[in-house]
A and B are shown apart, each in its own frame.
Chain A
Amino acid sequence: MSATPKRVIPRLLQMVLVIAGAYFSFILLFDVLLGQLIPKSLLTMYMVFVVAGVVMVFTFTEEGAQELAGPIKALVEDPSRKMVRNVVFVIVPLLAGYYTYSSMLPSFEAPVELRTIHPAPPNKFKAYGKSYNLATLENPYRKFEKEDPAKFKALVKEGGDVYIKNCQYCHGDKLDGKGPYASGLNPTPLNFQDVGTIAQLQESFLFWRIATGGPGLPAEAAPWISSMPVWQEFLTEDEIWKVILFLYNYTGRQPRSWSHE
C-alpha cells in the first residue's frame, strides 16, 4: 500500500461519482422509497454537507490532494491538452451562466414548511371544562388488561366501534394513516402502525392530542393546518380512553409508562 498504485478509476472521477451517488441516493430514498418528494431547498442543504465532507475526505492527505488536483492542473498547464482545455473553457462558463439564469427565473416551487410532529406536551391542559395533569393522568381502563381480560376485550371492542365511526376516514381501517380521505390532508394523518408513533407515547399524551385536537397543538406544531378535530366536542372521556385501548390493541403495541422507565 506504500507505493500509490495506478487506480482503475482516477481519484477526481471517484470523488465526482461519490457525490453523484449521494445525490441519487437521496432522490431514491425520498422520492421512491418514502414516496415523498424531497424539496429542492432541503436537497441543496444536504448536498452542501455531502460535498464539503467528501472534499475533506479526499484532500485529507497532501498526497491525496495532489492526486486530486493533478488532472486539473495538467489540463491548464500541459500544452498537449490544448484542445480539451478549450472545450472545458467554453463549457464551464456556459454551465455557470445557465445555472444562474435558471435559478433566477421566477418559479412556482412551493415553500418548505417544517413542523414538529410530536410536540412537547404541556404539564397541564384543559378539556371537558376541567384541568388535567399530564404527568399523573392514566387510562382508567388499562388495569383490566391483567385484572379482567374478558372485560378488557369488551372495552377494546367498544373502542373499535368508536374508531370506525369517527377516525377511520383519515387514519384508515388498518390504522396506517391511509384512510379514504388521507390523501386530501396536509399534514397527513398519523400512522399508528409505525413504531415511531403511539409506541413511543404515553396514553395521557394520546388523550391530550385527541381531546384538544389540531387547535390544541402548540405553535411549533402548526395547529392552523392540522385537520384533527377537537374530539371533546364529539366524544366522551370514556370513549376516548376506550379508543386508546383499541389503538394499542389493534397494532399490537404497548403504551410507554412511567413505571417501565
Chain B
Amino acid sequence: MANKFALLALCSALFAVGPAMAKPGTAEKGKVIYDMRCTWCHGDEGDGKGAAKDHLNPPPRDFTSGNYKIRTSDFEDLTPNDDDIFRMIRDGMPGTAMPGWSDILTEQDMWDLVAYVKKFASYEKPPAKQVDFGTQISSSAESIEKGKKLFEEGDRCVECHGKSGKGSASKRLKGEAGERTWPRNLTKPWTYRGSAEPKDIFSRISTGIAGTEMPSFADPKSKKKLSIEERWHVANYVASLAQTGQKVSADNTVVKVSKVEGELPSATDDARWEKSEATTFYMVPQIIGKERYFLPSSDTITVRAMYNDKAVAMLLEWDDRTKSTPGDDSAGKLADTPIEQDGVAVQLPVTIPSEMQKPYFGMGDAAHPVNVWHWKSGGKDAPETVGILNSKGFKDIEKREAASAGLTAKSSYSDGTWKVLMVRPLTTASTDKDMQFVEGKFIPVAFAAWDGSNNSEKGSKHTMTTWYWLLLKPATGSKPLVTALVIAALFAGGLLWWARSAGNKAA
C-alpha cells in the first residue's frame, strides 16, 4: 500500500512538474518571436498599446505594469513564476482575444518568450514564496455547503459576484488602467481565464487578481480573510456553480419546439420550461456593418419553445449583469452613460424558404424580407414594449404594432439574468407581412440582444447570432408504428417463405 502511494506521489509529482521543468529561455530569441507574433496587441514596448488596444475587453496585458492576473506566487509577491507566464502563452486565456500558441510555436519558442516578456517589468529573480496549497480538500456535498456559507458570509464574494455567482453588477469595478472590468460570471467556467480546476480557483482566491479589484483572501490583514481549508471549500463551491446547460454545443443548431396539449406557459417561471429542451447559441458583437460594436457584455442566449394548436411560445434567456432602467439613478450609475433600455430580438423570414437561399442574416435583403420581434425593457416610468419590424436590410425598415400580429411579450429579471417570453399565434391575418408557422418545416431563426448599460445606445450596437433553425415538431401519431409493424411482418413472411422453399428442395 505504501509503495502504491509512493508511486502515485511520484507520478503526480512528475505530472505537476511538467511545465515546471523550465528550460532557460533566451530573451534575444524571444524578442524576434515577440515582434512577429505579440506586438500587434501587446505593443513594441510591452505596454499593451498595440493597434487593437481600444477594441479588446479585457485589454491586452501591459507587461511593464508587472501585474500578472494568473499566477501561483504568494499574494505579497507580484513576481510570477516562469510557469505561470508559460501556461498563459501555451494555453491562452479563454474568453479573451489571447489564443494558445502551442500549435505554431515550439516549447523552446515559448520559453524564449517568457524570458523576454519578464524583462518588461525587470523581473529577474523567481518569487520568494509560493501559494501555500496545504492539503487539497476534494469536493463533497459537505465541502460545497461550507464553501457556500463562506461565499455569502459578510458579503465576502457576493459583493461583486452576486448571490448566483453571475457577477451581476452592484458597483462599478475598475482595472489598473482605469478600464471598466467585470467580475467573472462564475456559472460559466469555460470563460475562466486561468482554468476552472479547483486548484486554479484556489490560486485565484489566494493571490487575488493583480491589476483588478479582486483581492487576496489569504492576506491576514483582510477582514474577509480565509484559512487554507476555507479557501478549498470556497473553491469547491465555485466549481459547483457551473451551469453546463448554458454551454454551447456546436452540433445543436435547432430550437426544438414540442407540441403541448392545452394552454401554453404564460409566465417565464412556468415549471414546464424546466422540462423543455433548451438550445444555447453564441452571440457575437455586431462588427459587420456601421457602427461596429467591439466590447460586448453578453455572449450566449438560451432558447426554449413550445406550441399548441393556436400559438408558439418562446422563452429567451441571457445573462446581462446590468438591468438597464433609464430614469433610475442606481442603474444610471452602473451604466456607461447614457443609459438605454435592454432589449432582445427574434428574427424570422417573412416567407419560409423552400430552397437553400435565405434572407441575408443581418436584417434581410430587398428580395427576402424578415420579421424582427423586438422587445425593449422599458424605463423607470415606462412599461416594457414589444414591436415588429419588417426589414429588407437595415436601411429599409417598416415598424409595425405587435398587436397587428397578436404578438405579446413579458419579462423577468433576476440576479444577472433576463428572461423574456414571447407568444405569437401560428397564423396571422396578414400572410404577406408575417411569417406563418408550419409544423414539420425547418424555419431559419436568429437572435440579437442589447445591453443598454454597455454602450448600446445605438441600434447597431448589439450582440447577435447567425441563422439557426427552429422546428415545430409534429406530434408522433400512429403512422410510424403501423408502418414498422407492416415492414416487420413482411420481413418475417419473406424469411419463412425462403426457409420453407429451401426445406422443400432438400426433401
Chain A contacts to B: CB under 8 angstroms: 37, 73, 76-77, 79, 85, 89, 92-94, 96-98, 100-101, 104-106, 108-111, 113, 160-161, 163-165, 168-169, 172-174, 176, 178-181, 183-186, 193, 214-215, 219, 222-225, 227-229, 233-234, 250
User: Bound complex: CA of A106 vs CA of B505, how far in Å?
Assistant: 45
Q: Contact: B357 with A77, CB < 8 Å?
A: no
Whether B55 and A165, one on each chain, are in contact in the complex, defined by CB atoms closer than 8 angstroms, is yes
Name which residue of chain B comes closest to A115, CB basis. B356
CB within 8 A of B284: which of A76, A96, A111, A181? A181
Contact (Cβ within 8 A) A85 B285: no
Q: Flag if A173 contacts B97 (CB, 8 Å).
A: yes
- Interchain nearest-CB distance for A109 vs B (Å): 8
Q: Please, how many angstroms separate the alpha-carbon atoms of A161 and B284 in the complex?
A: 22
Output the least CB separation between B441 and chain A (Å). 10
B41 contacts A173, C-beta separation under 8 Å:
yes
Output the least CB separation between B293 and chain A (Å): 11
Enumerate 8 A-B pairs (CB-CB under 8 Å) in ascending A order: A76-B499, A77-B506, A79-B506, A110-B254, A165-B51, A173-B40, A174-B103, A227-B288
Known: A100-B484, A106-B474, A106-B476. A225 touches B283 (CB 8 A): no
Q: How far apart are the CA atoms of A222 and B469 in the complex, in Å? A: 16
Inter-chain contacts of A111 with B (CB < 8 A): 442, 469
Interface check B222, CB cutoff 8 A: no
B128 at the interface (CB under 8 A from A): no
Q: Which of A77, A101, A184 contacts B480 (CB 8 A)?
A: A101
Report whether A96 and B491 are in contact in the complex, using a CB–CB cutoff of 8 Å.
yes
Interface segment, B70-78, B162-170, B245-253? B245-253
CB–CB B97/A186 < 8 A: no
In the complex, chain B residues 20-78 whose Cβ is within 8 Å of any chain A Cβ = 36-37, 40-41, 50-52, 55
Known: A100-B487, A233-B290. A168 touches B52 (CB 8 A): yes
User: Nearest residue in A to B439 (C-beta to C-beta)?
Assistant: A106
Closest to A85 in B: B499
A185 to B471, CA, bound (A): 20
- Chain A residues with CB under 8 Å of B467's CB are 186, 224-225
**Chain A residues with CB below 8 A from B40, complex form:** 160-161, 163-164, 168, 173
Do A93 and B492 touch (CB < 8 A)?
Answer: yes
- The reply on B256 being an interface residue by CB < 8 A is yes
CA distance A233 to B254 in the complex (A): 33
A93 touches B491 (CB 8 A): yes
Q: Which residue of B lies closest to A229 (CB)?
A: B288
Task: Find out whether the CB atom of B283 lies under 8 angstroms from the CB atom of A168.
Answer: no
Return chain B residues, CB-CB under 8 Å to A168: 40, 52, 97
B489 touches A93 (CB 8 A): yes
In the docked arrangement, what's the CA distance between A72 and B244, Å? 49
**Cβ–Cβ < 8 Å partners of B98 in chain A:** 173
Give which listed residue, A73, A101, A161, A163, contacts B481 with CB less than 8 A.
A101
Stretch at the interface among B111-119, B147-155, B360-368, B410-418: B360-368
Interface residues of B in 460-507 (CB under 8 A from A): 465-467, 469, 471, 473-474, 476, 479-481, 483-485, 487-489, 491-492, 495-496, 498-499, 502-503, 505-506
Determine whether the beta carbon of A222 is less than 8 Å from that of B250: no
Closest-CB distance, A47 to chain B (whole angstroms): 19
What B residues does A222 contact at CB under 8 A? 356-357
Which residues of A are found within 8 Å of B104, using beta-carbon distances? Answer: 174, 176, 193
Give the residue name and chain of the B residue nearest to A98 (CB). B484
Chain A CB within 8 A of B10 CB: no
From the candidates B55, B101, B442, name the one contacting A174 in the complex (CB within 8 A).
Answer: B101
* B471 partner, pick from A108, A172, A179, A233, beta carbons under 8 A: A108
Interface presence of B359 (CB below 8 A): yes
Q: Choose from B473, B488, B489 the contact partner of A108 (Cβ within 8 Å).
A: B473
A82 closest partner in B (C-beta): B499
The answer on a CB contact under 8 Å between B51 and A184 is no
B residues 342-373 touching A (CB-CB < 8 Å):
356-361, 365, 368
Measured CA separation A73–B505 after assembly (Å): 12
Number of chain B interface residues as a range:
35 or more
- B227 contacts the other chain (Cβ, under 8 Å)? no
User: Is A184's CB under 8 angstroms from B283's CB?
Assistant: yes
**Of listed A77, A96, A106, A161, residue having the most chain B CB within 10 A:** A106
Closest to B479 in A: A104
Question: A42 CA to B255 CA in the complex, in Å?
Answer: 22
Which 3 residue pairs are nearest across A and B when measured between Cβ atoms? A97-B488, A184-B282, A101-B484
Shortest beta-carbon distance from B25 to chain A in Å: 20
Contact B487 A96 (CB under 8 A): yes
**Pair B287/A89 contact, Cβ less than 8 Å:** no
Assembly CA distance A186 to B495 (angstroms): 48
Given contacts A169-B294, A180-B97, A225-B361, 6 further A-B contacts (CB under 8 A): A73-B502, A101-B480, A110-B253, A160-B40, A176-B104, A229-B288
Interface residues of B in 134-188 (CB under 8 A from A): none
Is there a chain A Cβ closer than 8 Å to B126's Cβ? no
Taking the nearest CB of chain A, how far is it from the CB of B133, in angstroms? 32
Q: How far is the CA of A180 from the CA of B41 in the complex (A)?
A: 14
By the criterion CB–CB under 8 Å, are B288 and A77 in contact? no
Instruction: Please encode chain B, from 88 to 122, with 1 for each CB lying within 8 Å of some chain A CB and 0 for all others.
Output: 00000001111101011000000000000000000
CB contact under 8 A between A110 and B469, given known A104-B480, A164-B41: yes
Question: In the complex, what's the smallest C-beta–C-beta distance from B225 to chain A, in angstroms?
Answer: 36
Say whether A97 contacts B496, CB under 8 Å: no
A9–B458 Cα gap in the complex (Å)?
A: 70
Bound state CA distance, A100 and B483, in angstroms?
Answer: 7
Please, how many angstroms separate the alpha-carbon atoms of A183 and B101 in the complex? Answer: 18
Q: Let me know if B327 is at the binding interface, CB within 8 A.
A: no
Query: B18 interface residue, CB < 8 Å from A?
Result: no
Contacts of B498 in A (CB 8 A): 76
Let me know if B361 and A224 touch, CB within 8 A: yes
Point out the residues of chain B lying under 8 angstroms from A183, CB to CB.
Answer: 248, 250, 282
Q: How far is the CA of A37 from the CA of B442 in the complex (A)?
A: 19
Q: Is the pair B254, A100 in contact by a Cβ cutoff of 8 Å?
A: no
Q: CB-CB contacts of B220-262 with A at 8 A, as 1s and 0s?
A: 0000000000000000000000000000101101101000000
Would A184 and B250 be within 8 Å (CB), given that A164-B40, A229-B289 are in contact?
Answer: no
B440 within 8 A of partner (CB): yes
CB < 8 Å: which of A37, A193, A224 contacts B250? Answer: A37
Question: Which of B282, B357, B484 has the most chain A CB atoms closer than 10 A to its own CB?
Answer: B484
Q: List residues of chain B with CB within 8 A of the CB of A96.
A: 487-488, 491
Contact between chains at B487 and A97 (CB < 8 Å): yes
- Closest A residue, CB atoms, query B104: A174
B425 to chain A, nearest CB (A): 22
In the bound complex, CA of A179 to CA of B492 (Å): 56
User: How many Å from the CB of B41 to the closest CB on chain A?
Assistant: 7
Distance between B195 CB and nearest chain A CB, rounded to angstroms: 18
Most buried by B among A101, A222, A227: A101
Minimum CB–CB distance for A64 against chain B, Å = 22
Chain B 279-308 residues near chain A, CB threshold 8 A: 281-285, 287-290, 294
Q: Which residues of A lie under 8 Å from residue B294 when comparing CB positions?
A: 169
Closest CB in chain A relative to B462 CB, distance in Å: 13
